[in-house]
């Protein structure tokens, strides 16, 4: 099909407060780990920061998040087996929709987050994506990207040379291979024929790059906290430090190339806006994860190439006041989101949802239930 369907612009109105969110029955969730072989050509840098010098690392990260290219010197082969930790949640027994075939949503977090963001950092059911998806009959798998999370078996490989965009894309590809099969590597015990990729922010970049390299891996891309219009001004203004030096009790085992946001106020300014609970923003800072110099320096590699061969469906969900990916007023943001459909010339369907008065980490805002509803009303039309 050549024609793209009309985007569904679902503007939300009215005030939703945390108190109005209905308590949902407990999901059926368990921790799982995949062991995945990764063989990929990563980028080699010709003037990398000294791995033992925080100043050089932070300058390098800030420069690349500001949109500057780090000089490269060819590629380097990464050929290793990595562990991907995840939380797998099954649909509720009395889900509103029964499906003949199992459908899996794979949830991939952004920078300085891990898989816990999808369940709202434990701060309430109204922020819980898996709970909303499980109630609709979908299975969910929220992963820790390599180098992230706090599980006992988490790996923190070389931040510059290993933890790069290409490794993340390849690990999701291998994960999808596993869950589409009935083989030993599929620890979910269910073979999934349909996969919906859900990304937030950097996780959305990983999704578009995956769709470009492996166009038939997923049936739909749901890209949240994302657009093709990236504010490098906001990105470059986020203050970073080496996580192990900022907070040794939480990040002791990380090399200095694992960096994170230094101040609560800066994090709040970059990630929150308008309709949210300030105590959520505080917890969001206390529970923050990391990003790496390798991720920041390879962002453009995975973010800038349109997935021209991808013929699946695309849905974008981004807040009007997302300081990194949109711009108020609503009409301006809407036109930016509308324009992202050009990034997917082969997509069979495109739609978007734009929560009002909402910042970058949209699922930690009061509008989260509206966003969950907007996404699932669209998904329900096809899956």
Ligand X SMILES: *[C@@H]1O[C@H](CO)[C@@H](O)[C@H](O)[C@H]1NC(C)=O
Of 276, 282, 239, nearest in space to 360 by CA? 276
Of 168, 167, 192, 166, nearest in space to 178 by CA? 192
Strand 258-261 vs strand 240-242: parallel, antiparallel, or unpaired? antiparallel
DSSP assignment string, 196-234: EEEEETHHHHHHHHHHHHSTTS-SEEEEES--S---HHH
Name which of 58 and 238 has its Cβ closer to ligand X. Answer: 58
Residue 16, φ and ψ in degrees, nearest 5: -110, 130
Provide the residue count of the chain: 383
Least separation in angstroms between residue 77's CB and ligand X is: 12
Least separation in angstroms between residue 73's CB and ligand X is: 4
**Spatial separation of the C-alpha atoms in residues 194 and 105, rounded to whole Å:** 9
Least separation in angstroms between residue 78's CB and ligand X is: 15
Least separation in angstroms between residue 275's CB and ligand X is: 42
- 66-78 burial: b if 16+ Cβ within 10 Å, else e: eeeebeeeeeeeb
Least separation in angstroms between residue 53's CB and ligand X is: 4
Binding mask 33-72 for ligand X (x = CB under 6 A): -------------x------x-xx----------------
Contact 330, 320 (CB under 8 A): yes
Centre a 10 Å sphere on the Cβ of residue 195 and count the other Cβ atoms it contains. 20
Name which of 59 and 247 has its Cβ closer to ligand X. Answer: 59
Of 379, 338, 310, nearest in space to 7 by CA? 338
Name which of 161 and 296 has its Cβ closer to ligand X. Answer: 161
Name which of 17 and 73 has its Cβ closer to ligand X. Answer: 73
Least separation in angstroms between residue 70's CB and ligand X is: 12
Angle subtended by helix axes 202-213 and 165-179, to nearest 10: 70
Name which of 20 and 53 has its Cβ closer to ligand X. Answer: 53
Least separation in angstroms between residue 246's CB and ligand X is: 17
**Spatial separation of the C-alpha atoms in residues 218 and 203, rounded to whole Å:** 14
- Identify residues 321-380 at the interface with ligand X (CB under 6 A): none
DSSP, collapsed to helix, strand or coil, labels residue 71 as coil
Least separation in angstroms between residue 160's CB and ligand X is: 13
Name which of 44 and 348 has its Cβ closer to ligand X. Answer: 44
Name which of 60 and 352 has its Cβ closer to ligand X. Answer: 60
Residue with token string 């780990």: 33
Least separation in angstroms between residue 257's CB and ligand X is: 14
Strands (E), 128-215: 139-143, 194-200
Least separation in angstroms between residue 49's CB and ligand X is: 8
Inter-CA distances, 141 with 108, 275, 329, Å: 9, 28, 34
HSE value, Cβ hemisphere, 13 Å, CA-based, for 99: 21
Name which of 46 and 100 has its Cβ closer to ligand X. Answer: 46
Binding mask 70-109 for ligand X (x = CB under 6 A): ---xx-----------------------------------
Angle subtended by helix axes 264-271 and 278-286, to nearest 10: 120
For residue 11, give every residue at least 6 positions away whose Cβ sits within 8 Å of its Cβ, in sequence order, or none.
Answer: 330, 354, 356
Name which of 43 and 119 has its Cβ closer to ligand X. Answer: 43
State the number of binding residues for ligand X (CB under 6 A): 6
Tell me: does residue 158 bind ligand X (CB under 6 A): no
Of 234, 276, 18, nearest in space to 111 by CA? 234
Name which of 69 and 101 has its Cβ closer to ligand X. Answer: 69
List of residues contacting ligand X (CB under 6 A): 46, 53, 55-56, 73-74
């Amino acid at each position: 099909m050549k024609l793209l369907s009309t985007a569904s612009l679902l503007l939300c109105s009215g005030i939703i407060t945390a108190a109005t969110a209905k308590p949902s029955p407990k999901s059926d969730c368990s921790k799982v780990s995949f062991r995945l072989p990764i063989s990929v050509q990563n980028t080699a840098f010709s003037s990398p920061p000294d791995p033992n010098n925080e100043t050089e690392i932070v300058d390098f990260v800030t420069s690349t998040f500001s949109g500057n290219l780090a000089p490269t010197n060819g590629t380097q082969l990464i050929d290793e087996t990595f562990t991907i930790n995840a939380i797998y949640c099954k649909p509720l027994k009395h889900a509103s929709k029964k499906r003949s075939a199992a459908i899996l949503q794979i949830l991939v977090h952004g920078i300085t987050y891990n898989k816990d963001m999808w369940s709202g950092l434990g701060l309430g059911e109204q922020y819980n994506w898996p709970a909303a998806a499980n109630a609709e009959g979908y299975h969910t798998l929220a992963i820790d990207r390599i180098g992230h999370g706090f599980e006992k078996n988490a790996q923190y490989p070389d931040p510059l040379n290993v933890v790069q965009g290409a490794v993340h894309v390849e690990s999701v590809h291998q994960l999808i291979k596993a869950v589409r099969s009935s083989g030993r590597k599929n620890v979910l015990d269910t073979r999934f024929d349909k996969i919906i990729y859900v990304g937030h922010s950097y996780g959305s970049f990983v999704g578009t790059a995956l769709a470009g390299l492996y166009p038939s891996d997923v049936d739909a891309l749901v890209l949240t906290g994302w657009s093709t219009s990236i504010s490098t001004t906001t990105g470059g203004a986020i203050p970073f430090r080496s996580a192990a030096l900022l907070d040794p009790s939480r990040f002791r085992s990380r090399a200095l190339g694992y960096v994170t946001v230094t101040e609560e106020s800066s994090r709040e300014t970059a990630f929150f806006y308008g309709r949210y609970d300030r105590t959520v923003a505080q917890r969001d800072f206390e529970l923050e994860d990391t990003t790496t110099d390798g991720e920041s320096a390879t962002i453009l590699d995975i973010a800038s190439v349109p997935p021209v061969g991808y013929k699946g469906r695309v849905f974008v969900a981004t807040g009007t006041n997302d300081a990194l990916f949109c711009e108020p007023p609503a009409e301006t943001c809407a036109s930016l989101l509308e324009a992202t459909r050009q990034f997917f010339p082969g997509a069979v369907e495109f739609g978007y949802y734009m929560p009002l008065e909402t910042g970058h980490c949209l699922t930690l805002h009061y509008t989260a239930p509206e966003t969950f509803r907007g996404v699932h009303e669209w998904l329900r039309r096809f899956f």
